[in-house]
């Protein structure tokens, strides 16, 4: 538990996330997969999230190159640890997590935008809590991350509450349903698939990421110092992602049922989750990864917010933050 003394926009007690990330970088021991004479297999880490599901659809259909492997993790922190240790060369992360990892010394570059959150990140509450102000004295679960801190800060601001007015429980989304069932929580900041499982126990949505538009981006981040990177495999993986997006667009029911089976939830929950994200196509990705784009503007805003809140010691210069070189030349995917 973080306790009432935790401030959502300052470092939590104990080891801060930035220091944790820095430790991971040191443990990683330098560039990835060093010493290999030829291109190493491309390994990409991803934790459960609706925006990453096209990668798994592509894998299941055999649309990923055989040199590419998806490494399933339980949370973003595990994906970051895998990046730092050299177990993977790229990972699916939120943009704020990329900025924090870069601040800790990990040379990451965004090569793909999976999704933009438009209601998928939510605050769920017990039915008796009707307003944000009624969170006073309540127990709120939140993942210890920049995203969790940003969501919590906005919620408390709108509620007119100080951090001392609530009790923060540090629980990642994957473990929140069990804590909710046990009666340990009054509210939870989470996302799918945990959100649907908590809703099934009677929780209601009181706040979501539509209140903070163009802020939460899920991206594919690549380590620029990865030795012997198989660039062809990376391009093939990204091509597979867009091919799966085409399948999702044209054969939505089939895709929804496949995703529901993989996440062990209902098709209705998957439809609800998909409604909370925008999944940019190839043309939109080109716009996002270009200079002076909306994504660059979002990174600039996040930079300032995270520095002001103590989540970053100093502003990221944003150099080499985006690279569109791995995007396909044209969208030619048939579903």
Read off the pLDDT of residues 141-168 as tens digits, 9 standing for 90 and up: 998 777 787 789 889 999 999 989 999 9
Residues 14-46 pLDDT 10s: 333 333 444 444 344 444 444 444 567 899 999
* Tens-place pLDDT, residues 237-286: 999 999 999 999 999 999 999 999 998 889 998 998 899 899 999 999 99
Domains present along the chain, CATH in parentheses: 17-116+215-308 (3.40.190.10), 122-211 (3.40.190.10)
Phi-psi region of 109 (alpha: psi -120 to 50; beta: other; left: phi over 0): beta
Report the share of the chain in percent with pLDDT over 70.
Answer: 86
Separation CA 308–CA 302 (nearest Å): 10
- Per DSSP, helices labelled H in the chain are 17-28, 53-61, 76-85, 95-103, 146-159, 176-181, 194-199, 231-250, 252-263, 267-275, 282-288, 294-308
Tens digits of per-residue pLDDT, 110-124? 999 999 988 888 999
pLDDT given at position 155: 93
Res 11: pLDDT: 38
- Report the distance separating Cα 14 and Cα 21, nearest Å: 14
Pairing of strands 90-94, 42-46: parallel
Instruction: Give the pLDDT of residue 9.
Output: 37
Summarize the confidence of residues 297-319 as an average pLDDT: 85
What is the overall mean pLDDT for the chain? 86
Mean pLDDT to the nearest integer, 206-234: 91
């Amino acid at each position: 538990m973080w306790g009432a003394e935790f401030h959502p926009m300052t470092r939590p007690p104990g080891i801060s996330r930035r220091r944790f990330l820095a430790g991971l970088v040191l443990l990683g021991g330098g560039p990835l997969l060093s010493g290999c004479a030829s291109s190493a297999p491309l390994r990409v880490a991803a934790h459960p999230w609706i925006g990453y599901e096209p990668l798994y659809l592509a894998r299941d259909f055999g649309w990923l190159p055989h040199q590419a492997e998806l490494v399933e993790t339980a949370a973003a922190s595990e994906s970051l640890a895998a990046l730092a240790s050299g177990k993977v060369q790229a990972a699916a992360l939120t943009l704020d997590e990329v900025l924090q990892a870069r601040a800790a010394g990990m040379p990451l570059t965004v090569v793909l935008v999976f999704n933009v959150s438009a209601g998928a990140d939510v605050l769920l509450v017990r039915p008796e809590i009707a307003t944000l102000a009624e969170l006073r004295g309540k127990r709120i679960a939140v993942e210890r991350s920049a995203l969790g801190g940003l969501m919590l800060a906005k919620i408390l601001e709108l509620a007119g509450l100080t951090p001392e007015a609530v009790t923060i429980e540090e629980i990642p989304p994957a473990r929140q349903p069990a804590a909710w069932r046990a009666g340990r929580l009054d509210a939870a900041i989470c996302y799918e698939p945990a959100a649907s499982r908590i809703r099934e126990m009677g929780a209601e949505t009181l706040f979501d990421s539509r209140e903070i538009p163009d802020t939460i981006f899920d991206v594919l981040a690549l380590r620029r110092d990865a030795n012997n990177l198989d660039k062809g495999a990376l391009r093939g993986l990204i091509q597979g992602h867009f091919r799966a997006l085409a399948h999702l667009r044209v054969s939505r029911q089939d895709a929804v049922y496949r995703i529901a089976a993989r996440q062990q939830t209902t098709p209705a929950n998957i439809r609800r989750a998909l409604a909370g994200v925008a999944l940019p196509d190839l043309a939109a990705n080109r716009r996002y990864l270009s200079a002076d784009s909306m994504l660059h503007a979002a990174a600039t805003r996040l930079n300032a917010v995270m520095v002001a809140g103590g989540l970053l010691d100093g502003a990221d210069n944003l150099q080499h933050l985006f690279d569109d070189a791995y995007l396909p030349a044209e969208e030619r995917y048939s579903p």
